[in-house]
């Protein structure tokens, strides 16, 4: 019985953020005139990756692959920027995986400064960074195409944007 409760609680932390992330990915992809696909073949490694990806011109991103409940929306833009760094470096600016990861963590800390729950947010940011350092290698080796990608964060869709978009449809 305890295991069933544990699995249920764990699913709340894993499934809900992925659903929220998919909503933001769809919104962002539509806004950038991209194409949402459910599978991607990595240009560099040839690895097939399942999941939602937005393809815009010679670039692709998926935002936050996994996040802690409540942080998917908050960190989405930082995740997209990090995706661009992973997929276009070192070809574009000579950055290493470590450079991209450090920039991602610094970006998350800046985002956390804008929140009411800064200490909790900082802990989630640090955990996200550590997970990325430990498990990000397959994403780093997926692509290395030259691009003049923006280092500016894209527009964050708010919950209100998503709700108004849904009511229009």
The answer to whether the pTM exceeds 0.85 is no
Cα angle 30, 33, 37 (rounded to 5 degrees) comes to 70
Residue-level pLDDT at 65: 74
For residues 33-61, average pLDDT: 89
Q: Domain locations in the chain?
A: 2-168
Residue-level pLDDT at 38: 93
* Tens of pLDDT, residues 18-33: 445 678 889 889 998 9
| Residue 56 host element (H or E) | strand 48-56
In this structure, are residues 80 and 67 in contact, taking their beta carbons and an 8 Å threshold? no
Higher pLDDT among residues 160 and 26, named by residue: 26
Higher pLDDT among residues 54 and 144, named by residue: 54
* Tens of pLDDT, residues 85-99: 988 888 888 899 999
């Amino acid at each position: 019985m305890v295991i069933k409760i544990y699995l249920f609680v764990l699913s709340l932390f894993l499934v809900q953020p992925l659903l929220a992330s998919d909503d933001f990915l769809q919104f962002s992809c539509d806004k950038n005139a991209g194409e949402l696909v459910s599978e991607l073949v990595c240009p560099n490694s040839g690895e097939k990756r399942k999941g939602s990806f937005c393809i815009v011109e010679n670039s692709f991103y998926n935002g936050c692959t996994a996040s802690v409940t409540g942080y998917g929306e908050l960190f989405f833009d930082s995740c997209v920027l990090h995706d661009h760094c992973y997929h276009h470096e070192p070809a574009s600016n000579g950055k290493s995986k470590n450079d991209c990861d450090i920039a991602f963590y610094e970006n998350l800390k800046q985002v956390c400064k804008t929140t009411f729950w800064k200490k909790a947010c900082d802990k989630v940011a640090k955990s996200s960074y550590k997970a990325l350092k430990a498990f990000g290698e397959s994403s780093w080796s997926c692509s290395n195409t030259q691009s003049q990608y923006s280092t500016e964060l894209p527009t964050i869709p708010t919950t209100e944007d998503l709700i108004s978009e849904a009511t229009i449809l």
